[in-house]
Amino acid sequence: MVLNKKINYICEKNMISHKCKYAIRALIDIAAQHDPNKPVMSSEIAARQQIPKKFLETILRDLRNSRILHSRRGSTGGYTLLKPASEITTTEIIRIIDGPIALLPCVSLNYYASCEGCDESTCQIKGVFEQVRDKTLGILNHTSLADLRDQYLKNTPQVGD
Amino acid sequence: MVLNKKINYICEKNMISHKCKYAIRALIDIAAQHDPNKPVMSSEIAARQQIPKKFLETILRDLRNSRILHSRRGSTGGYTLLKPASEITTTEIIRIIDGPIALLPCVSLNYYASCEGCDESTCQIKGVFEQVRDKTLGILNHTSLADLRDQYLKNTPQVGD
DNA sequence: TATAAATCCTATCAACTTAGTAGGAATGGT
DNA sequence: ACCATTCCTACTAAGTTGATAGGATTTATA
């Protein structure tokens, strides 16, 4: 990346968004809850995971609208997983929050679009990006929220209650 | 990706930029030239590859500043590769134009930054994105400009001269 | 039934990035 | 001298990101 203006600039281009990282961390936090029936409040998640509270609310709403989470209002409200953590893939989360996994529109499975100005039947660069997509999906599809949670619990021992 | 405003929106988030696609196509065009000593003019590339001329100029300049291309001014001017096409990797091109390959700052080899709000030593999501990075680099490092050019020449037969 | 606490919703915002364009200066061959 | 080319700085409109503001709605409980 050619930086002609700033130096020591933190470049996060093409990376997953902060929002997406927050979403993954929030879901891990919920999945790490002992009792799967006890809803987790957004304020708890915000405090534990260091996520801006108001921003987190919009993220949790997206995840609820996409049928990953269930929510309950009121004083005993909060969020619970709508399906087992082992059935929620990293792919799914990224697709909901950030969108495409592929690096080119014309090789995207869920967000396909033709690359204008390029004849797809003779496209020179399609092949290599199809390979990248397949390898990436291979990993992300096989990494479930349960896997991420187990990693989390291994590294940060929970206090008993 | 949660779209609450627009529908049928073409989402290219996290994908490589148009600029990067233009850069790759321009380099393939130059690499496909019969005589490696005859410079290729930006106007030719722009016409053949359907790239906005002025925009292409800034891209070629970036590639020259990054020592991928050599340029010559004047009426017989143009651009030539500074090293063999087989020694220019897709990784290199993407890094110059778009920057990082990795999906998380904390697993980037060339654009490392710590993810604020996340303890890296106990990070839950680092592992999976390290795997994605390695698989992606495995493919992009082994796909040279020569490979892309050969694909191009196979699909679009050149007129003899 | 009031109240406190939680989710839910719409709107707004500053900073930044993207995909260019404008206008011309510098250079080199004829 | 002329012309074609690269080279350079600056500018712009549109979109995205990472939030925050302010309150409406819902639910358990005193």
Residue A27: exposed, middle, or buried by beta-carbon count in 10 A (0-12, 13-18, 19+)? buried
Nucleotides of C under 7 A from a protein CB: 4-11, 17-23, 26-30
Distances (CA, A) of A49 to A24, A39, A60, A66, B107: 10, 16, 14, 22, 20
Has domain B18-153 been given CATH number 3.40.50.300?
no
Confidence category of residue A6, pLDDT binned at 50, 70, 90: very low
Q: How far is A74 from chain B (nearest CA, A)?
A: 25
What is the pTM for the complete model shown? 0.92
Neighbours of A156 (CB within 10 A): 12
Q: What is the mean pLDDT of chain B?
A: 90
Contact with chain B for residue A140, Cβ under 8 A = yes
**Chain A contacts of B111, Cβ < 8 Å?**
1, 10-11
The reply to whether B157 touches chain A by the CB within 8 Å rule is: no
Angle at CA of residue A87, ends A83 and A89, nearest 5°: 120
Q: Of the CATH numbers 1.10.10.10, 1.10.150.20, 3.40.50.300, 1.25.40.80, which one belongs to the domain with range A18-155?
A: 1.10.10.10
Give the mean pLDDT of A57-64.
98
CA distance A25 to chain B (A): 8
- pLDDT the model gives residue B8: 53
The percentage of chain B sitting over the pLDDT mark of 70, rounded to a whole number, equals: 91
Q: Domain-by-domain residue ranges, chain B?
A: 18-153
Q: Which of B146, B111, B107 is nearest to B127 (CA)?
A: B107
**Contact at CB, B118 and A152, closer than 8 angstroms:** no
Nearest to A60 by CA among A76, A78, A74, A33: A78
Residue B7 has pLDDT above 50, yes or no: no
Residue-wise pLDDT tens digits, A134-158:
999 999 999 999 999 998 887 776 6
Q: How far is the CA of B17 from the C1' of C25 (A)?
A: 30
C-alpha A73/C-alpha A39 separation (Å) is 10
Q: Is the pLDDT of residue B72 over 60?
A: yes
Mean local confidence (pLDDT), B50-65: 97
CB of B108 under 7 A from strand D?
no
The answer on pLDDT for A118 being more than 90 is no
According to the model, what pLDDT value does residue A71 have? Answer: 97
B161 confidence band (pLDDT: 50, 70, 90) = very low
pLDDT of residue A31: 97
Read off the DSSP letter of residue A89: B
Reported as a pLDDT band with limits 50, 70 and 90, residue A161 is very low
Reported as type and span, the H/E element at residue A80 is: strand A78-81
Contacts of B53 in chain A (CB under 8 A): none
Q: In a mutagenesis test of the A interface, which of B6, B14, B150 is the best target, namely the one with the most A β-carbons within 10 Å?
A: B14
Q: Is residue B151's pLDDT more than 70?
A: yes
Which tokens in the block code for residue A143?
A: 């990494």
Residues 21-50, chain B, touching A (beta carbon < 8 A) = 21, 24-25, 28, 49-50
pLDDT at B10: 80
* DSSP secondary structure letter of residue A83: S
